[in-house]
Structures are given as structure tokens and as C-alpha cells.
């Protein structure tokens, strides 16, 4: 796994609870305190109150199809091992030996029968159960094997093959957590009985921006496209890029989850259903969807979205080569927190399992062309997000209590909408961004979680941020 060399943050707020209240009251006025970004105290509290409680995406079953397969992933700052055991179960375990705490796994993926600590040799099976240790009979007596297994995520579940875990021991299921956003997700990833498959390991690269900047952007910001991505229009990569926000719609769901939809058919009938070719569209099974879902899928499908806290989705038609025809690609990304004002962006490419390798490769190239680490759109986004972290680290801004502007005019949700949640005919209004911040406030106000010595006022040191 990549090791990050920390940089200085903007400092730490003196009163975290007061900041959370200011975010809440600020949203009533369409304002956001800039010090929610790039702050030591905020970051440490987020790791416990958000990432220690919420359901977090970790990967896909197609990445670990066989017994013994594993991948190494992250929940907040914690490295976890995701395995498939001999009984076909999926396990999520903290990547630290129970003996002295050393990291067990240093590979991104592989296949194994056990995990052996490189320090003293304590060994664990695919379920994280203690399996043995060198010189065991000489070194130990009255040893309780059941007590000394690896720490395991209390809750692990899947949705159409997408693996999630939660470190919270409450009774909130994954379905409860997704709420009515599952209705939209179902229409995105459940179009074929064979499901989707990952096209490889996630691409990872570091961005000196807060994880919330990416999550908030994908939850509802189409306003930036005509400015930040103007180069895509000037180069004719996407000639109508300046009009993208005018055909954008908003889907607002439970628990801080939301999607942007685009009325792509305004660009022509070939753009129906994300512009999938006819031979692929004909294999989609729409029989189990309701009328509203079918209309959404065909005419204004979800193209971008965020499942709180840090899972975002992207499916959009764009060329795989300059001047080529638009190709729809599906991308899942994680805004992985690393340190205050620093994240690592993880990006997976997915395609429907029935699609040929050749077509999947074309979709992969289309996604990389726009949103790979060197993609046309990705370079634009990450550059401006880094500026937000710098603004949050500014002593001048912090001294003056700078507030950011969230006051676009709002037309309100469509009263004729018959689907779950709320539907907005215009993406202007920043109501989906407010939804994100309201959920952030809810989680950050939860004092019942076990902060222990990772309290909100504790500075994030260089060692703890590694």
C-alpha cells in the first residue's frame, strides 16, 4: 500500500462542537465555514464519528471470486483485508496482528490459505481466526485461540456484488443505510442478471485536497462543468460541454445520498440509456423495474452521484479516442482520507459481465481518457479542489471566519414526481450539496461513539496520519 508523507494542515479548531453547529446553522443561510476542510480536529473526529460508524464501500465480489482470494482496502485510516473463505463467505479484518500490532498483509491482492505476521509469525486463517504460532507449546499455556483472532468488521454485506462493511455494532443494515437510494442504485447496476465485474484493481493517486471536496462535488455539482472543464469543449472532446449543466437533473434520497441525472436524449435518440449501443441495450432486463425507474433509465439516467460518506459513481458517454463516438463507461471511486487536506483517490472501472472484453476495453479507455489520473476532466477537478484545501489552511481566512457561498436560487422539487425521494428538474440550487452537509452534521454530532483518546481536540500527528 502507498505510504503518505504528511504535510501541515491548517491547524485545528478550538471547539469542534461549535464548528459543527456553525455548519448546521450556516446551511440555513446557504453558508459553509471554510474550516471544515484541512483541519486536524475535524479530521480525527471524522475518522471515528463518520468512518467508524457508516457503511463504507470496499470492493466487488468479482475481485475475490475464489476461496483464498483477498484484497487490501481501507476504512478511513484503517487498512483492512477483505477475503473469501472456503465456505464462500466474505470477511473484513483489521490488517494488524494481535500479538504486537504489526501489519500482516503488504500485498494489494492475492490468494492464500492464511496470513502470517512477519514479526513473530502469529498466523490467522481466512476468517481471521487464530491458527497458530511458532514454538506454540513452549511459549504459551492457557491460550484462548478464540480470543486472539483478528479484529473483524461487525457488519459486512453486499449489494449487487458490491461489498460494504461497517465498524458500528448498531442494527442499521446496509439496505437501511442506503434507504431509497437503493432504488436508483438498482437501476444503475442491476440491469442484467449476470451483474457487473471489476475491470481490474483500482487506480490510486494522491490529491492534496480534502476527501469531502470530491464527495460533495459528485453529489450534486454540475454547475462547475462549463467553467472548470471548458478545455473539453475547446478541444472538441465533448463539444457541448458548456450545456451539460442545463440538461442536469437532481435525485435526492435518504441519509445524505444523491445523484445527478442528465437528460441525455436531448442530444439525440442514440443517447438513450446512457448511450449504450442497441445490441447492449437489448440485453438489459427492465422487467423488474417500475415505470418511473424505466423512464429514468431511458431518458434522464443517474450519471454521477455520492453515497455518503465517500463512495461516488460515474457513468457517462464520452469518446475513448479523440474524435471517436461516445462510449458509456461505469466508474466507482472512493475519496480515501489520508490526512487533513489530503486524500487518495481510488478509481475502479466496471462493466456488465455479459459485455465482450473488446467492448469492456473500449469503455475502460473512455473512462481513463476523461477521469483517469491523467484524464482531461480529472486534472481540472483535482486542481481546483487543491485550492479549497489551501483556502482552509489560510491563517487569514481562519482569522476572519470565512464562509463559502451556497446560495443559488431554488425552484423546489417536482411535485409531480412519483418515484422515491425528491426529483429536481434543475441542478441549480445546491440542495444536494446541502443534503451532504446535513448528513455530515448528523454524524459529527454523534457523541455516543467511542472517541477514547482519539478525541476531537487531539492534534493529528505525523505518525497517526501515516
Q: pLDDT-derived band of residue 240, with 50, 70 and 90 as boundaries?
A: low
> Does an H or E element contain 73, and which?
strand 69-75
Structural domains of the chain, with CATH: 58-171 (2.102.10.10), 176-444 (3.90.380.10)
**460: nearest Cα among 19, 151, 43:** 43
CA–CA separation, 148 and 409 (whole Å): 57
DSSP per residue over 103-130, as a string?
Answer: -----SEEE-S-EE-TTT--EE-TTS-E
Strand, helix or coil at 8?
coil
pLDDT score for 231: 78
**219: nearest Cα among 187, 264, 184, 174:** 184
Report CA-CA distances (Å) from 442 to 17, 138, 216, 273, 437: 12, 52, 16, 35, 9
Backbone angles phi, psi at 157, to 5 degrees: -155, 170
User: Does residue 460 have a pLDDT over 60?
Assistant: no
Three cell numbers, residue 312: 461516488
Let me know the angle formed at the C-alpha of 340 by 458 and 103, rounded to the nearest 5 degrees: 80
pLDDT score for 459: 46
Contact 33, 26 (CB under 8 A): yes
DSSP per residue over 218-235, as a string?
Answer: HHH--TTHHHHTHHHHHT
Q: pLDDT-derived band of residue 3, with 50, 70 and 90 as boundaries?
A: low
pLDDT score for 230: 81
The average pLDDT across 336-361 equals 97
Q: What is the pLDDT of residues 104-115, one digit of tens each?
A: 999 999 999 999
**CB-CB neighbours of 126 under 10 Å:** 23
The average pLDDT across 134-154 equals 97
Let me know the angle formed at the C-alpha of 12 by 10 and 18, rounded to the nearest 5 degrees: 125
Q: How many residues does the chain have?
A: 466
**CB-CB neighbours of 269 under 10 Å:** 7
**77: nearest Cα among 376, 251, 310, 236:** 310
Name, in order, each residue with C-beta under 8 angstroms of 394's C-beta and a sequence gap of 6 or more.
Answer: 10, 34, 402
What counts of helices (H) and strands (E) characterise the chain? 14, 21
Residue at grid coordinates 484462548: 144
**156: nearest Cα among 132, 128, 184:** 128
CA–CA separation, 219 and 260 (whole Å): 7
pLDDT score for 429: 96
pLDDT score for 449: 65
More confident call, 257 vs 1: 257
Three cell numbers, residue 233: 469543449
- Looking at the DSSP assignment, which residues form a beta bridge with residue 90? 84
pLDDT score for 453: 41
pLDDT score for 205: 95
User: Does residue 461 have a pLDDT over 70?
Assistant: no
User: Does residue 455 have a pLDDT over 90?
Assistant: no
**341: nearest Cα among 72, 52, 55, 46:** 46
User: Does residue 244 have a pLDDT over 60?
Assistant: yes
DSSP per residue over 405-426, as a string?
Answer: E---------TT--SSSEEES-
User: Does residue 4 have a pLDDT over 60?
Assistant: no
Q: pLDDT-derived band of residue 458, with 50, 70 and 90 as boundaries?
A: very low
Q: What is the pLDDT of residues 272-309, one digit of tens each?
A: 999 999 999 999 999 999 999 999 999 999 999 999 99
Residue at grid coordinates 513473530: 120
- Looking at the DSSP assignment, which residues form a beta bridge with residue 92? 82
Q: What is the pLDDT of residues 32-64, one digit of tens each?
A: 999 999 999 999 999 999 999 999 999 999 999
**CB-CB neighbours of 21 under 10 Å:** 14
CA–CA separation, 187 and 301 (whole Å): 9
The average pLDDT across 430-453 equals 85
Residue at grid coordinates 411535485: 415
Tell me the pTM. 0.93
User: Does residue 314 have a pLDDT over 80?
Assistant: yes
Of 329-343, 364-378, 440-454, minimum mean pLDDT range: 440-454
CA–CA separation, 79 and 114 (whole Å): 17
pLDDT score for 241: 66
More confident call, 451 vs 257: 257
More confident call, 244 vs 257: 257
Contact 28, 437 (CB under 8 A): no
Q: pLDDT-derived band of residue 445, with 50, 70 and 90 as boundaries?
A: very high
Please report which residue ranges of 190-286 form alpha helices under DSSP H. Answer: 211-220, 225-228, 230-234, 278-281
Average pLDDT, the chain: 92
pLDDT score for 322: 77
User: Does residue 29 have a pLDDT over 60?
Assistant: yes
User: Does residue 447 have a pLDDT over 50?
Assistant: yes
User: Does residue 466 have a pLDDT over 60?
Assistant: no
Helix-helix angle 376-393:211-220, to 10 degrees: 130
Q: CB burial class (10 A; 0-12, 13-18, 19+) of residue 406?
A: middle
Amino acid at each position: 500500500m502507498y505510504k503518505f508523507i504528511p504535510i501541515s494542515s491548517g491547524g485545528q479548531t478550538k471547539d469542534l462542537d461549535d464548528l459543527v453547529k456553525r455548519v448546521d446553522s450556516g446551511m440555513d443561510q446557504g453558508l459553509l465555514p471554510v474550516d471544515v476542510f484541512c483541519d486536524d480536529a475535524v479530521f480525527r473526529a471524522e475518522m471515528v464519528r463518520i468512518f467508524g460508524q457508516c457503511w463504507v464501500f470496499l470492493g466487488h465480489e468479482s475481485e475475490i471470486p475464489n476461496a483464498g482470494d483477498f484484497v487490501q482496502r481501507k476504512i478511513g485510516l484503517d487498512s483492512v483485508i477483505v477475503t473469501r473463505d472456503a465456505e464462500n463467505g466474505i470477511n473484513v479484518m483489521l490488517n494488524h496482528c494481535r500479538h504486537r500490532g504489526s501489519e500482516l498483509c503488504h500485498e494489494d491482492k492475492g490468494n492464500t490459505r492464511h496470513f502470517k505476521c512477519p514479526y513473530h509469525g502469529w498466523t490467522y486463517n481466512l476468517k481471521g481466526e487464530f491458527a497458530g504460532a511458532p514454538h506454540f507449546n513452549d511459549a504459551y499455556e492457557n491460550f484462548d485461540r478464540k480470543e486472539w483472532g483478528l479484529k473483524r468488521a461487525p457488519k459486512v454485506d453486499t449489494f449487487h456484488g458490491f461489498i460494504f462493511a461497517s465498524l458500528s455494532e448498531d442494527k442499521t443494515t446496509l439496505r437501511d443505510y442506503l434507504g431509497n437510494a437503493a432504488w436508483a442504485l438498482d437501476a444503475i447496476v442491476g440491469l442484467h442478471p449476470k451483474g457487473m465485474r471489476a475491470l481490474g484493481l483500482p487506480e490510486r493517486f494522491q490529491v492534496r485536497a480534502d476527501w469531502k471536496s470530491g464527495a460533495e462535488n459528485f453529489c450534486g455539482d454540475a454547475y462547475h462543468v462549463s467553467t472548470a472543464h471548458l478545455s473539453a469543449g475547446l478541444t472538441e472532446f465533448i463539444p457541448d460541454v458548456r450545456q451539460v449543466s442545463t440538461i442536469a437533473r437532481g435525485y435526492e434520497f435518504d441519509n445524505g445520498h444523491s445523484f445527478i441525472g442528465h437528460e441525455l436524449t436531448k442530444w439525440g435518440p442514440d443517447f438513450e440509456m446512457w448511450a449504450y449501443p442497441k445490441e447492449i441495450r437489448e440485453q438489459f432486463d427492465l422487467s423488474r423495474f417500475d415505470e418511473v425507474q424505466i423512464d429514468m433509465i431511458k431518458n434522464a439516467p443517474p450519471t454521477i452521484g455520492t453515497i455518503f460518506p465517500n463512495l461516488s459513481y460515474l457513468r457517462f458517454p464520452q469518446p475513448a479516442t479523440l474524435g471517436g463516438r461516445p462510449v458509456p463507461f461505469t466508474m466507482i471511486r472512493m475519496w480515501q482520507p489520508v490526512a487533513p487536506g489530503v486524500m487518495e483517490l481510488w478509481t475502479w472501472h466496471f462493466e456488465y459481465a455479459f459485455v465482450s472484453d473488446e467492448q469492456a476495453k473500449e469503455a475502460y479507455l473512455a473512462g481513463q481518457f476523461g477521469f483517469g489520473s491523467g484524464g482531461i476532466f480529472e486534472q481540472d477537478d483535482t486542481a481546483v479542489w487543491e485550492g479549497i484545501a489551501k483556502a482552509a489552511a489560510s491563517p487569514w481566512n481562519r482569522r476572519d471566519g470565512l464562509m463559502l457561498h451556497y446560495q443559488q436560487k431554488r425552484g423546489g422539487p417536482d411535485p409531480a414526481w412519483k418515484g422515491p425521494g425528491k426529483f429536481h428538474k434543475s441542478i441549480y440550487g445546491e440542495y444536494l450539496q446541502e443534503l451532504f452537509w446535513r448528513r455530515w452534521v448528523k454524524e459529527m454530532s454523534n457523541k455516543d461513539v467511542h472517541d477514547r483518546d482519539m478525541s476531537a481536540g487531539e492534534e493529528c500527528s505525523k505518525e497517526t496520519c501515516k
